[in-house]
Chains A and B, each alone.
Chain A
Amino acid sequence: MSELPSSLNFRANAARAIGDEALRAAMRNAADTFGARRAAAFEAIPDLEALRERASAIRLEVLDNLPVLIEQFTASATRAGAQVHRATDAAAARELIASLLKERGVQMAAKSKSMVSEEIHLNAHLEQAGIEVVETDLGEYIIQLEHETPSHIIVPAIHKNRQQVGRLFAERLGVSYTDDPQVLTKIARRVLREKFFAAQAGISGANFAIAESGSLILFTNEGNGRMVTTVPPLHIAILSIEKILPSLRDLPTFIRLLPRSATGQAITSYVSVITGTRQPGEATGAQELHIVLLDNGRSEILAGECREMLKCIRCGACMNVCPVYRTVGGHAYGSTYPGPMGMILTTLLSGMAAAHPLVDASTLCGACVEVCPVKIPLVPLILKLRERRVREGFADLKTDLGMRLFGAAAGSPALFAWGERFSRLFWPLIRRIGGENVVGRLPPPAAKPFHAKVQSE
Chain B
Amino acid sequence: MRVQLFGTCLVDAFFPEVGEATVRLLRHFGVEVAYPQGQTCCGQPAFNAGYRDEAKRAAAHFLSVFTGSDPIVTPSGSCAAMVKHHYPDLLRDDPELSRAAADAAGRVYELSQFLVRVLRAHEAGFAGKGRVTYHSSCHLTRSLGVREEPLTLLASLRGAEFVPLPDATRCCGFGGMFMAKLPEISCALADEKAAAILATGAGTVTGCDSGCLMNIADALKKRGSGVRVAHLAQLLAEGL
Chain A interface residues (CB < 8 Å from chain B): 10-11, 14-15, 18, 323-324, 327-328, 359-367, 369-370, 383, 385-390, 395, 399, 403-404, 406-413, 416, 420, 423, 434-435, 437-438, 441-443, 445-446, 448-451, 453-457
Chain A residues within an 8 Å CB radius of B188: 18, 327
CB of A19 to closest CB in B, whole Å: 9
Identify which of A328, A404, A407, A409 gathers the most chain B CB atoms within 10 Å of its CB. Answer: A407
Chain A residues within an 8 Å CB radius of B174: 363
CB of A450 to closest CB in B, whole Å: 4
Q: A403-B45, A443-B214 are in contact. Are A449 and B184 (CB under 8 A)?
A: no
- Is there contact, CB below 8 Å, between A387 and B52? yes
The yes or no answer to B39 lying at the interface (CB within 8 A) is: yes
| Between-chain CB contacts (< 8 Å), 7 pairs | A327-B189, A364-B48, A386-B48, A411-B40, A446-B17, A457-B2, A457-B33
- Is there contact, CB below 8 Å, between B50 and A365? no
Q: A411-B57, A441-B215 are in contact. Are A389 and B185 (CB under 8 A)?
A: no
Chain B residues within an 8 Å CB radius of A390: 49-52
CB of B15 to closest CB in A, whole Å: 7
CB of A34 to closest CB in B, whole Å: 14
- Is there contact, CB below 8 Å, between B178 and A360? yes
**Could you tell me which residues of chain B, from 21 to 60, have a CB within 8 Å of some CB in chain A?**
23, 27, 32-41, 43, 45-55, 57-58, 60
- Is there contact, CB below 8 Å, between A327 and B185? yes
A245–B218 alpha-carbon span in the complex (Å): 49
CB of A10 to closest CB in B, whole Å: 8
Q: A367-B170, A387-B50, A446-B15 are in contact. Are A413 and B40 (CB under 8 A)?
A: yes
A389–B48 alpha-carbon span in the complex (Å): 12
A387–B51 alpha-carbon span in the complex (Å): 6
- Is there contact, CB below 8 Å, between B183 and A454? no
- Is there contact, CB below 8 Å, between A450 and B173? no
CB of A2 to closest CB in B, whole Å: 14
Identify which of B2, B186, B214 gathers the most chain A CB atoms within 10 Å of its CB. Answer: B186
A453–B215 alpha-carbon span in the complex (Å): 25
Q: A360-B178, A367-B142 are in contact. Are A410 and B46 (CB under 8 A)?
A: yes
- Is there contact, CB below 8 Å, between A445 and B34? no
CB of A271 to closest CB in B, whole Å: 33
Chain B residues within an 8 Å CB radius of A446: 13-17
A383–B86 alpha-carbon span in the complex (Å): 11
- Is there contact, CB below 8 Å, between B61 and A454? no
**Could you tell me which residues of chain B, from 134 to 186, have a CB within 8 Å of some CB in chain A?**
138-139, 142-143, 169-171, 173-186
- Is there contact, CB below 8 Å, between A442 and B50? no
- Is there contact, CB below 8 Å, between B40 and A409? yes
Complex: chain A residue closest to B23, CB-CB: A454
The yes or no answer to B5 lying at the interface (CB within 8 A) is: yes
Which of B12, B32, B182 is close to A14, meaning CB atoms less than 8 Å apart?
Answer: B182
Q: A interface, by DSSP: helix, strand, loop or mixed?
A: helix
Chain B residues within an 8 Å CB radius of A14: 182, 184-185
Q: A407-B55, A412-B40 are in contact. List 19 more A-B contacts (CB 8 A).
A: A11-B184, A360-B182, A363-B173, A365-B138, A365-B171, A367-B138, A367-B170, A386-B48, A390-B50, A403-B49, A408-B57, A410-B57, A412-B61, A413-B37, A413-B38, A454-B19, A454-B20, A454-B35, A457-B27
Q: A387-B52, A450-B19 are in contact. Are A11 and B12 (CB under 8 A)?
A: no
Chain B residues within an 8 Å CB radius of A410: 40-41, 43, 46, 54, 57-58, 61
- Is there contact, CB below 8 Å, between B54 and A328? no
- Is there contact, CB below 8 Å, between A437 and B183? yes
Q: A18-B188, A383-B47, A451-B7 are in contact. Are A362 and B16 (CB under 8 A)?
A: no
A-B interface, 3 closest residue pairs, ranked by CB to CB distance from nearest: A386-B50, A407-B54, A363-B175
Complex: chain A residue closest to B16, CB-CB: A450
Which of B11, B20, B55, B182 is close to A11, meaning CB atoms less than 8 Å apart?
Answer: B182
Chain B residues within an 8 Å CB radius of A454: 5, 7, 19-20, 23, 35
- Is there contact, CB below 8 Å, between A365 and B142? yes
- Is there contact, CB below 8 Å, between B138 and A364? yes
Chain A residues within an 8 Å CB radius of B15: 446, 450
Q: A366-B139, A416-B40, A451-B37 are in contact. Are A403 and B60 (CB under 8 A)?
A: no
- Is there contact, CB below 8 Å, between A388 and B50? yes
A404–B51 alpha-carbon span in the complex (Å): 9
- Is there contact, CB below 8 Å, between B179 and A438? yes
- Is there contact, CB below 8 Å, between B13 and A423? yes
A176–B27 alpha-carbon span in the complex (Å): 74
